Amino acid sequence: MNYFNAFLLLISLSCSTFSQLLAKELEAAKRPPNVLFIAVDDLACTLGCYGDLIAKTPNIDRLAASGVSFQRAYNQLPLCNPTRASIMTGLRPDTIKVYDLDRHFRDEVPDVVTLPQSFQNAGYFAARVGKIYHYNVPASIGTDGFDDPPSWNQTVNPKGRDKAEEALVYNAEPHRKISGALSWLAAEGTDAEQTDGMIATEAIKLMQENKKEPFFLGVGFFRPHTPYVAPKKYFDMYPVETLRLPYAPQGDRDDIPTAAFAHNCPVPNYNLDEATLLKATQAYYACVSFIDAQVGRLLNALDALELTDNTIVVFWSDHGYHLGEHNGVWQKRTLFEQGARAPLIIRDPSSTGSGPCQRIVEFVDLYPTLTELAGIQSPEGLEGRSLSQLLSDPLSDWKGYAITQILRPADDRLPEQVMGCSIRTERYRFTEWGEGKYGSELYDHHADSREFNNLAIQPDAQSQIVMNKLRPLLRARASGKTPKIPVNPERL
């Protein structure tokens, strides 16, 4: 072959390769984007990308660096069933009337079109692995939990050795079940043997099997929900002697209404000693790093399957979580910043923005955001708004505020059921308990980011003006009235 013919052959091969690449790009452009919808149970903002100096979370941090991390995202009700029902329907708790762990949203809105149903209606394959809707943890691991069958074309419910080894779990509060007590296990064996490791494995299989069609894949991890169970190597990442309990000034609780403290944690620190509490903290962070490793597996699989450039990735936790703030508040069910705020990261290949976003957003915004990004139709009546503007420019004007609420049972602290409602603006958090009958709270986050000084106690003129301005905004989205529908007091 002479040089001229060789040159022509090279040109021909180059054109052919270019044509193939162009055809591949055009095909990808025509195909609707996939959605990888990652939920984590009881995860606070204990992540490196949220400024936590203890957490070792390189994979979630990697996702945040390539997407938008919403630094001030707030759930609608800090309890598993209500918050997940709100996210998946795009409706607020007072609309779906879900306040406890027993009521299903279809009891109130039987014909509602859920988020994955909207994707199904647009021709997507919708699947779930693990916990997206509510589960009793750990009792319901391996079952469908409190699921919504119309939401999915396929469901997978792994069950790992953490279920088989529940008898090995250490319970710091033996009078309570491990589901709600500070309890943990530094497990033997590998990630792949744990339920959450199996969830990642099954999710990757579904991506492989369905990579040629658009999919909406819900991947729900169970940890760090109690009991805190993770392989021992993750515990070793957090030596107890390097940990400490959160700071709070002496007398921090003196200006906080009784109703503000969750009924499942009425006694500071459950009366446990500091050594036990630090071990619980270690176990919690171990679970965070364990989940981070599973998220890394999902992200790596997207790369290996060449799906990254056509997949919207959403990472969220159902609510915040306490690790001893305010001199001994643990777990969830509060309207403090630590309970209302939770991680939310979105990576959309078609959006131009990246990095942290400081605008106030709500979890009810997820539904309209994803349908808009995917170019599919949303049902009428959604109560959030699309975040697509912030995904393109995290610094753009927003003027948002967030509403979070929680229902307290009547008990030896409160003579009747009390609804607590809180509004978070750029500067303030204002909370009312029983429309103010059982107390109010006002915190100025510009001066008091940890909410130590309740300005609603003997408010000055400026504080009164702020509360009068925020009260109608709050009640427009959460009335504060005790609901008339039946609730299970033991499951609030």
265 is catalytic: no
45 is catalytic: no
Give start and end residues of each alpha helix (H) in 136-267: 161-164, 195-209, 232-235
Angstrom distance (rounded) from CA 363 to CA 385: 10
Angstrom distance (rounded) from CA 308 to CA 303: 5
Two tokens at 5?
């013919």
SS3 178: coil
Tell me which amino acid residue 391 is.
L
SS3 409: coil
Check if the beta carbon of residue 319 is closer than 8 Å to that of residue 250.
no
Pairing of strands 440-444, 428-433: antiparallel
Check if the beta carbon of residue 482 is closer than 8 Å to that of residue 419.
yes
Please choose, from the candidates 415, 309, 398, the residue with its C-alpha nearest in 3D space to the C-alpha of residue 361: 398
Q: How far is CA 330 from CA 263, 289, 302, 450, in A?
A: 11, 20, 36, 15
Secondary structure percentages of the chain, helix, strand, coil, to 5: 40, 20, 40
Pairing of strands 215-221, 170-171: unpaired
Two tokens at 56?
């070792």
Contacts of 468 (CB under 8 A, 6+ apart): none
Among 134, 225, 322, 326, the active-site one is 134
Among 15, 45, 49, 80, the active-site one is 80
SS3 311: strand
Angstrom distance (rounded) from CA 73 to CA 404: 11
Return the exposure string of 179-218: e unless at least 16 CB atoms fall within 10 Å of the residue's CB, then b. Answer: eebbbbbbbeeebebbbbbbbbbbbbebbeebbeebbbbb
Two tokens at 59?
């994979």
Contacts of 146 (CB under 8 A, 6+ apart): 81, 101, 104, 133, 134, 135, 136, 140
As annotated, the active-site residues are 80, 134
